[in-house]
C-alpha cells in the first residue's frame, strides 16, 4: 500500500513544465483505494497494492490509523477472485460497512467503512485521473499553499487525536513549536517576497529531516509545529537542536542577498502533570518557545516540570518577561 506524498520544491522559480496527461489506457486502469473521510488522517488516500492489507493502530500493520477505538490489528483487506474482501480481525469495537456490523464482506464501489470511534473510510476504484483529482482536493484542504506544511485546521484535529491516544495508552507524545527569529526585519528590509522565500525554504528543510511518524504544520505566520508521536522529551529536544542547527547553517538567499535565519524552539511532552487536554500541551510548548526567545533566541527550551529549561539540561527559564507582541 502506498501513501501519496507531496513534493516540496526548494526554490520559488516559476518553470514551464509539460502537462502530465493521462492517456486512455492510463485513465481506464482503475486501482482499489481507500479515502479517509473522517478521523486523524482525513483526506488521505491509500492505494491497495498488496494481496493482503492489515489496518489497525499497531506498529506492524500495513496501514496505521490513530483512533482510540481501533484495535492493534483491526481489519484485513484481501484480494479474492478479482474482488476486495473486508474481514474483521476480532476487533474490540467491531467493523461496520454502510452502517451494519460485519465479520466478512466483499466491498463494492462507494462502500463506507467505520472503524474505531471516528474513522470512516470510503472504498472506491480510482483511475489515474481520479487519483490526481483526489490528491489535489486533499492537498488544497489540508496543506498551506505557500509552505506545503499541513495547515492549522489539520494540526488542531491531529493534536487532539494524538493527545487522546497518548493519554489512553500512556505513550509519549512530544510537541515542538518553532518560530523564525526577527522575521519582521526580513520583511521590512527585503520585502515580503524574501519573507515568503524563507518560509518555503525553511519548511522544505525541516520536512526533509522528519520521518513519516512526525506531523509538520504551519501554526500561523512564521510559527510552525511538529507533532512527534511516540517520542519522549529528551529525543524531541535532540531533534529540535538538530533542526535549529540546520536552519542556522542553511544558505537562505534572496537573489544575490544572503539572509541569516535562526529559529527559537520550544518542546513539551504529554502525558504530564496538569495536562488534561491537548490545549494544555500546546500551551506548554508555546511557553517553552517564548522562553527560548527571552533567553536570547536561536536556542531550544524544553518544558520540564517546574518550568521551561534551555536545551533540556540547563538552568530554568520561567515563562514571564517581555510581552509576546512584536517579540519576533
Instruction: Return the active site residues.
Output: 222
Outline where the chain has alpha helix (H): 24-28, 128-142, 152-169, 183-190, 192-208, 233-249, 278-294
Give φ, ψ of 19 to 5 degrees: -65, 140
Starting at the edge strand found earlier in the chain, the sheet holding 75-80 runs 63-64, 52-56, 75-80, 83-88, 104-106
Alpha-carbon distance 149 to 155, whole Å? 10
Question: Do 198 and 189 form a contact (C-beta atoms < 8 A)?
Answer: no
Q: What residue ranges in 31-185 does DSSP mark as E strands?
A: 31-38, 45-47, 52-56, 63-64, 75-80, 83-88, 95-97, 100-102, 104-106, 112-115, 119-126, 173-180
Alpha carbon distance 175, 269 (integer Å): 6
Q: How far apart, in whole angstroms, are the C-alpha atoms of residue 195 and residue 181?
A: 12
- Contact assessment for residue 302 and residue 313, using Cβ atoms and an 8 Å cutoff: no
User: CA 321, 306, 172 angle in degrees (round to 5)?
Assistant: 115
120: left (phi over 0), alpha (psi -120 to 50) or beta: beta
Cell of 103: 465479520
- Nearest of 205, 208, 220 to residue 262 by alpha carbon: 205
| Look-up of cell digits 473521510 | 37
Residue 81: other Cβ atoms inside 10 A: 6
Amino acid at each position: 500500500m502506498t501513501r501519496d506524498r507531496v513534493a516540496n520544491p526548494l526554490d520559488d522559480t516559476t518553470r514551464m513544465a509539460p502537462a502530465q496527461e493521462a492517456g486512455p489506457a492510463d485513465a481506464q486502469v482503475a486501482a482499489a483505494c481507500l479515502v479517509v473521510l473522517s478521523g486523524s488522517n482525513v483526506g488521505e488516500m491509500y492505494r491497495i497494492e498488496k494481496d493482503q492489507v492489515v489496518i489497525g493502530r499497531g506498529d506492524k500493520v500495513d496501514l496505521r490509523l490513530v483512533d482510540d477505538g481501533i484495535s492493534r490489528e483491526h481489519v484485513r483487506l484481501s484480494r479474492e477472485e478479482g474482488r476486495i474482501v473486508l474481514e474483521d480481525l476480532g476487533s474490540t469495537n467491531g467493523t461496520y460497512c454502510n452502517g451494519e456490523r460485519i465479520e466478512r464482506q466483499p466491498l463494492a464501489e462507494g462502500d463506507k467503512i467505520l472503524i474505531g470511534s471516528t474513522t470512516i473510510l470510503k472504498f472506491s476504484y480510482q483511475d489515474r485521473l481520479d487519483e490526481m483529482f483526489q490528491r489535489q482536493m486533499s492537498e488544497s484542504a489540508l496543506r498551506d499553499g505557500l509552505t506545503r506544511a499541513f495547515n492549522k485546521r489539520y494540526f488542531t484535529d491531529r493534536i487532539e487525536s494524538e493527545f487522546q491516544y497518548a493519554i489512553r495508552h500512556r505513550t509519549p507524545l512530544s510537541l515542538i513549536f518553532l518560530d523564525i527569529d526577527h522575521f519582521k526585519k526580513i520583511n521590512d528590509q527585503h520585502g515580503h517576497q524574501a519573507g515568503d522565500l524563507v518560509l518555503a525554504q525553511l519548511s522544505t528543510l525541516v520536512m526533509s529531516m522528519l520521518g513519516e511518524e512526525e506531523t509538520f504544520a504551519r501554526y500561523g505566520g512564521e510559527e510552525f509545529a511538529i507533532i512527534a508521536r511516540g517520542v519522549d522529551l529528551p529525543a524531541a529536544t535532540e531533534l529540535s537542536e538538530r533542526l535549529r542547527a540546520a536552519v542556522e547553517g542553511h544558505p537562505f538567499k534572496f537573489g544575490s542577498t544572503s539572509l541569516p535565519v535562526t529559529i527559537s524552539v520550544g518542546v513539551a511532552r504529554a502525558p504530564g502533570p496538569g495536562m488534561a487536554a491537548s490545549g494544555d500541551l500546546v500551551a506548554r510548548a508555546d511557553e517553552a518557545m517564548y522562553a527560548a526567545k527571552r533567553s536570547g533566541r536561536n536556542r531550544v527550551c524544553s518544558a520540564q516540570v517546574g518550568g521551561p529549561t534551555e536545551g533540556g539540561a540547563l538552568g530554568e527559564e520561567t515563562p514571564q518577561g517581555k510581552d509576546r507582541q512584536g517579540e519576533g
